[in-house]
Structure 1
């Protein structure tokens, strides 16, 4: 596949499941919401990310199961504290299920080298980042072996991970 659909298109076309694995301890440190949060400003996730909230909420309302698992180092980074704080008002509010796995608990798992989404167990969206955590050009494929590999890795993480409501960042 050569053209990369938008997340709005990916979620619109999704019928059953959308799973996402994140494994970095920091992403774009220049993101305005993160910068504002670091400065002590109150962040309203529904206001900052209303587009995402709408995209995911619509999919969930159609019966799509959306799950997100995050592998994190502990003690957690400042960025992960930020992510954890906004997750309830954004991801959970949109209808996502979110779990967290301390990196030490993932040492015996075979994991892909990139964050990813798998839509309906068949379409794989690979996230790519530079060394500073800035997003670069993503990649998308409908290669069934890759989708199966990433789906299996996600399920292994999900089975061990801690539900958002029970995960402590300090």
Structure 2
């Protein structure tokens, strides 16, 4: 992110991540507010610093509807991302059927550096993989742009 010069795009396609996250559990139990946690503040500061350099940061989330508890948790916390300068959109999975999607979530920096995110079946993070294959980068860039064009801005999305 620090080396990014023009754009950083992130595609998320899972209905749940790290469901044993203490913040998610606290949210489920109604024990947290929606303000950024201590753990989230460095990330949001990084996004704010990145966007203040003129880098466009976009996140698209493909979600099943009705949305899962985890996606609702993400939705509730997304205003912090938006306040930091990140653009966030939502695409109901039913509207993604004709999009050629990669098998993994990813970050694509400046259209050239692809970082895949690998998760296990429970949504727990396993590792990152840096990909340099131009065909894979092209697939991911195209998938993101098609998803972005079809998706709904956070401010307008009403989760089902």
What interval of TM-score do these two structures reach, taking the shorter chain for normalisation? over 0.9
- Unmatched tracts of structure 1, length 5 or more: 1-10
- Structure number with the higher strand fraction is 2
- Partner residue, 1:75: 66
- Partner residue, 1:6: none
The alignment of Structure 1 onto Structure 2 pairs a total of residues equal to 159
- The structure 1 segments of at least 4 consecutive aligned residues displaced by more than 4 Å after TM superposition are none
- Taking the aligned partners of 1:122 and 1:31, their CA distance within structure 2 comes to 32
Matched, 1:88 2:95: no
- Taking the aligned partners of 2:37 and 2:125, their CA distance within structure 1 comes to 22
- Taking the aligned partners of 1:23 and 1:99, their CA distance within structure 2 comes to 12
Q: Under a length normalisation based on structure 1, what TM-score does the superposition of the two structures give?
A: 0.90
Instruction: Check conservation: 2:15, 2:70, Cα contact below 8 A.
Output: yes
Partner of 1:70, secondary structure, is: strand
CA RMSD of superposed structures (Å): 1.1
- Taking the aligned partners of 2:20 and 2:5, their CA distance within structure 1 comes to 34
Q: Under a length normalisation based on structure 2, what TM-score does the superposition of the two structures give?
A: 0.96
Instruction: Check conservation: 1:16, 1:64, Cα contact below 8 A.
Output: yes
- Taking the aligned partners of 1:110 and 1:48, their CA distance within structure 2 comes to 34
- Unmatched tracts of structure 2, length 5 or more: none
- Taking the aligned partners of 1:45 and 1:145, their CA distance within structure 2 comes to 37
**Shift of the alpha carbon at 1:93?**
1.3
